[in-house]
Amino acid sequence: MILDNIQNCALYRGVHPKFEEAFAFCKKAMAENLPVGRYELDGTALYAMVQEYNTKLTANAKFEGHRNYIDIQFMVSGAEIMKWADISKMTENVPYNPDKDCQFYAPNEDAAAGTVGAGEYAIFFPHDIHMPCVSLNETPAPAKKIVVKVRV
């Protein structure tokens, strides 16, 4: 898991060949205030979703994991808590859905947490089970986020 600011994205170009394109899209989406929707960048190898929502109470958020994609979750506006834990510390509670590349896990009180604000992002690899969209101080608030899906 990586948590950083968009100003430092060049540090991670070598992690995956598609990261440079992913970060370029995030910068463009932020500068142009792109509307909510799905954006095809390179077929199934790289795509993005611009989302607007209200953050959730912890009790309403879920731990999720993906086998085929890395998530880059970039906050455009607002802030949220993102929790994460290594897959080895998690218990599956909803089987893997290959069509959605998603699996859900039981809550884990030992999961790490970080606050991600506007201009910041978290990168979750397939072994990083994560719970995004959690409200600060259990007070739901508006947020806008770009989730870039990078095929592993």
CATH of the domain at 47: 2.60.120.370
CB within 8 Å of 60: residues ≥ 6 apart: none
**Total domain count, the chain:** 1
Of the candidates 59, 86, 68, the residue with the CA atom closest to the CA atom of residue 149: 68
Is this model's pTM higher than 0.75 or not? yes
Chain segment 14-50, per-residue pLDDT in tens:
999 999 999 999 999 999 999 999 999 999 999 999 9
Full residue range of the structural domain in which residue 67 is found = 2-151
Burial 88-105 (b: 16+ CB within 10 A, else e): eebeeeeeeeeeebbbbb
The residue among 6, 3, 24 whose CA lies nearest residue 150 is 24
Per the document, the length of the chain is 152
